[in-house]
Amino acid sequence: SQQGEEDPQALSIQEGENATMNCSYKTSINNLQWYRQNSGRGLVHLILIRSNEREKHSGRLRVTLDTSKKSSSLLITASRAADTASYFCATDGGNTPLVFGKGTRLSVIA
């Protein structure tokens, strides 16, 4: 069964707005990763946050992790039409494979 659950399932915003996606998980983790999937393509790794980190930035991406609430958020600032994709969180418990959530479909309207 899925470890991570993204929220919302779908999100539609205007270009230039910020997009926030959330991920909740159930068991302890070593790290949490976010991936993007463009339509018809494989997943691409975006960012990894370790369990002892609370916030991480990469370009227009900001990821937070709250291990006490077992939740993470991905913020995309100043969104662009090219950000339209599905976004997945994946939890890494250590020596077990990543477990992916069901994803959030983001639509950025120009």
Partner 1 sequence: DAEITQSPRHKITETGRQVTLACHQTWNHNNMFWYRQDLGHGLRLIHYSYGVHDTNKGEVSDGYSVSRSNTEDLPLTLESAASSQTSVYFCASSPRTGSYNEQFFGPGTRLTVL
- Judged by the rule CB under 8 A, the positions of this chain that interact with partner 1 are 1-2, 30-31, 33, 40-45, 48, 50, 88, 90, 92, 94-95, 97-103
Cβ proximity to partner 1: between 44 and 78 the closer is 44
Distance from C-alpha of 86 to C-alpha of 99, rounded to nearest angstrom: 16
Which amino acid makes up residue 70?
Answer: K
Q: Minimum distance from CB of 18 to partner 1 (Å)?
A: 24
Look at the alpha carbons of 58, 61, 65, 70 in this order and tell me if their dihedral is positive or negative.
negative
Per the CB < 8 A criterion, the answer to whether 106 and 99 are in contact is no
Q: Minimum distance from CB of 53 to partner 1 (Å)?
A: 11
Cβ proximity to partner 1: between 13 and 47 the closer is 47
Cβ proximity to partner 1: between 15 and 98 the closer is 98
Q: Minimum distance from CB of 42 to partner 1 (Å)?
A: 3
CA-nearest of 9, 26, 84, 65 to 57 is: 65
Q: Minimum distance from CB of 14 to partner 1 (Å)?
A: 26
